[in-house]
Structure 1
Amino acid sequence: MAEGDSPTVARRRVRIVLREARERAGLTQLEVAEEMEWSLSKVIRIENGDVAIAPNDLRPLLAYLGVKDRALIAEMLASAKIARTRQTQRQVWYQSPEFREHLTDGTRRLIEYEAEAASIHSYSVFHIPGPLQIPSYSEALMNMWRDEMSEEQRKVGLDARRRRHDAVVERVGSLRFTALLDESVFMRAVGGPRIFADQLQEILRLEQQKLVSIRMFPFSADAALSYNAGFDILFIGTDNDLSNAVMYRETGTSDEIVEDRATTERHHLRYQKLWDAALTEVETLQFVKQRIRDLTR
């Protein structure tokens, strides 16, 4: 365990070790709950990372799961102590009742990882990535699905988008954000010409601040477009350490955090191939500037 680990990283380490140990032992979450005399929901929340496990609970659980490596046990106990510091300090905004009610588990975990990530690689064929969106663009995008959500859901969703954008902007100098966007993203004027031009201006501003690097995957590219509508790969450590990478992906009806290394590595490789086949950053910015001129004529 590296010194200075955040509670998020420490909690992720503990829950992955617990889940993998349980699966190796051939035990279900219900069997663990019954043996430990816990509720099933407690086991699920620990493995999902919704709560941190207390060191006094961790010791007997590791023994029951057959974890005998003393060094690993010591590491898990140390990580468990770090993981609980966040909960004893304050509740973060996305875990408050209103956000827990209206945001999916996948989205809330994505927001948590965004706050800790050293780098984020975002791929989209439909819209500007959430953390880069201005409020008017987010509102116009969400209004497209207004008949499928309540007003409270829309309000909370817009507030979450705004907070994510502000959190990313505050990390200029400590976060590397790359965005690989299909040409259709730039051609689809969500919200109308004025709003979309303002959104593209924000992209230019963030690029000038060296917060984000953007490449466009053009219609004319002689390469296979990914079937995925969109995914984000977040590295808690360095870009070449896939053991500390997680992936967020969404479809029209669901979203999820993927922590399987093989799946994340496959998508990261796909992202790199598409990035290399796309227009360069300079060419993309030239396209964006021309697009702004066309929208504001």
Structure 2
Amino acid sequence: MSAPESPSVRERRLAHELREARVQAGFPAGEVARLLGWSASKVSRIETGRIGISGADLDAVLAVYALSPEHAAHLRRLAPSARTRGWWDAHAESLSPGYAGLLRLEAGSSELRTYCAVLPHALLMTPEYVRRVVGATWQVPSPAETDRRIRVCLRRQEVLPGPDGGPGPNGLTVRAVIDEAVLRRAVGGDDPAADRAVRRGQLRHLLELAARPGVDLRVLPFAAGIPPVSAGSFSVLTSRATARPDVVYLENKTRISFVEADTEVHRYVRDHELLTAMALPRTRSREFLAAVLDEPDDAPELGGEVVEVVGGTRAGT
């Protein structure tokens, strides 16, 4: 089930693994409390995730359990105290808890899998496209607020792999499946020429990103058929500490929801695998993007000719 505005999945994983480490070391909870001079309830609250654990307390616990250096280092990476303050902390008053939590999770992740059913993922948007998305609501923010949101989004994009192919500053790689509808959707507005420029700028940006070795971007064409998901866009993050996909997030206009249960995360990972198999391979996806970009402004929206340009209608054909 989803947990709105709850970025604590990795903290809870630490709590679970601390309990497992205690059991494997053969210590009853009461004995750990006695050795460390704690109350038994403190041990229980830490192991159930009701309270966090400080760096000093974690070091004390690890010393009692006599864990291997590798195991101890793994647990320290999971600890909140091991994380440095992020740039988003300076925006704490203007960011929702869910959004701030998402930024923290992305900074602690090694891989992003995403399916874009309606819009490009925020990490893949141009500034002008972000502006149109922010303005596409009945309650249009002020110009100053719109500019602030764009700045935050662009700062968020710093986790992306660079043009040289290396991962982003935090080691993030991206695997994105983008529905053809995303590429063909008009951005709307009063100036058709400006609207086309925004859309074409976004297409060029996706082409540039798709050329980066650290970005696996694939197009799911209309001709591939009905996708195996009906709930729309989703994203899966892989923890850098555990190298496991451990949280799914779903973004909409008003909130961010997190899916943390292992079985549900696995379903989303499997859905992404199926979508990737349905999508065009990387090279043909870039050809598809280039063909859409080269279409005249009055080209038919369904783009059957584009499918022929890239040599087929399904991945592998």
TM-score, normalised with respect to structure 2: 0.65
**Deviation, structure 1 residue 274:** 1.4
CA deviation string 1:112-165 (max 9, x = no partner) = 222232221111111111111111111111111261545554333212111122
AA at the equivalent of 1:290: A
Tell me the residue number matched to 1:216: 219
RCO higher in 1 or 2 (8 Å CA, sep ≥ 6)?
2
Q: Give the structure 1 partner of residue 53 of structure 2.
A: 53
Aligned equivalent of 1:293? 294
Relative to structure 1, is the Cα distance of residues 246 and 82 closer, same or farther in structure 2, using a 3 angstrom cutoff?
closer
Which piece of structure 1 moves more, 187-196 or 265-274?
A: 187-196
Q: Which of the residues 184, 192, 213 maps onto 2:181?
A: 184
> What SS does the corresponding residue of 2:120 show, helix, strand or coil?
coil
1:261–1:157: structure 2 CA closer, same or farther, 3 Å change rule?
Answer: same
Q: 2: distance between equivalents of 1:81 and 1:274? A: 31
Structure 2 partner of 1:254: 255
Contact residue 129 and residue 198 of structure 2 kept, 8 A: yes
The secondary structure found in structure 2 opposite 1:216 is: strand
SS in 2 for 1:103: coil
Which secondary structure does the structure 1 equivalent of 2:149 belong to? Answer: helix
Q: Which piece of structure 1 moves more, 245-254 or 189-198? A: 245-254
Q: Could you tell me which residue of structure 1 aligns to residue 119 of structure 2?
A: 127
Instruction: Note the residue ranges of structure 2 that are not aligned, 5 or more in a row.
Output: 1-7, 20-40, 189-194, 299-317
Distance 1:52 1:149, change over 3 A: farther
TM-score (norm 1): 0.69
Give SS of 1:228's match. coil
Question: How many pairs are equivalent?
Answer: 253
Asked if the contact 2:54–2:81 (Cα under 8 Å) also holds between the matched residues in 1, the reply is yes
Kindly indicate whether the alpha-carbon contact (under 8 Å) linking 1:134 and 1:165 is maintained by their aligned counterparts in 2. Answer: no
Per-residue CA deviations over 1:3-30 (Å, capped at 9, x if unaligned) read xxxxxxxx965443437999xxxxxxxx
1:215 Cα offset (Å): 1.5
Aligned to 1:233: 236
Q: Distance in 1 between matches of 2:158 and 2:277?
A: 29
- Which of the residues 131, 138, 143 maps onto 1:139? 131
Which position in structure 2 is the counterpart of 1:92? 86
Contact kept? 2:233, 2:250, Cα under 8 Å: yes
Once the two structures are superposed, residues 44-81 of structure 1 have per-residue CA deviations (whole angstroms, 9 ceiling, x without a partner) of xx969xx9632566799x9xxxxxx9468x95996289
Q: Which residue of 2 aligns with 1:173?
A: 166
1:283 pairs with 2:284: yes
Structure of larger gyration radius? 2
Q: Tell me the amino acid that sits aligned with residue 223 of structure 2.
A: S
C-alpha distance in structure 2 between counterparts of 1:115 and 1:225, whole Å = 29
- Give the whole-Å Cα distance in 1 for the aligned partners of 2:77 and 2:94: 28
Change (3 A) 1:78 1:147: closer
AA in 2 matched with 1:160: V
Q: 1:251 to 1:228 in 2, by over 3 A?
A: farther
Following superposition, the deviation at residue 85 of structure 1 comes to 4.6
In the TM superposition, 1:8-87 aligns within 5 A as 13-18=10-15, 53-55=53-55, 70=65, 75=72, 79=76, 83-86=80-83
Provide the secondary structure at the position in 2 that maps to 1:123: strand
Q: Distance in 2 between matches of 1:151 and 1:20?
A: 47
1:83 CA displacement: 3.7
Aligned-partner Cα distance in 1 for 2:142–2:263:
37
Output the amino acid matched with 2:133: L
SS of equivalent to 1:84: helix
Q: CA offset at residue 86 of structure 1?
A: 4.0
Provide the aligned C-alpha RMSD in A.
3.9
Q: 1:159 aligns with which of 132, 138, 151?
A: 151
Matched, 1:114 2:117: no
Which structure is higher in helix share?
A: 1
In structure 2, relative to structure 1, the CA distance for the partners of 1:146 and 1:212 (3 Å cut) is farther
Q: Are residues 95 and 281 of structure 1, via their aligned partners in 2, closer, same or farther at CA, if it must alter by over 3 Å? A: same
Query: Does 1:274 find its partner at 2:266?
Result: no
Q: Do the aligned partners of residues 16 and 134 (structure 1) sit closer, same or farther apart at CA in structure 2, a change above 3 Å counting? A: same
CA distance in structure 1 between the partners assigned to 2:178 and 2:257 by the alignment: 20
Residue segments in structure 1 that go unaligned for 5+ positions in a row: 1-10, 23-34, 37-42, 63-68
Q: Percent identity?
A: 22
> Following the alignment from structure 2 to structure 1, what is the Cα–Cα distance between the partners of residues 134 and 157?
16
Partners of 1:222 and 1:290 lie apart in 2 by 20
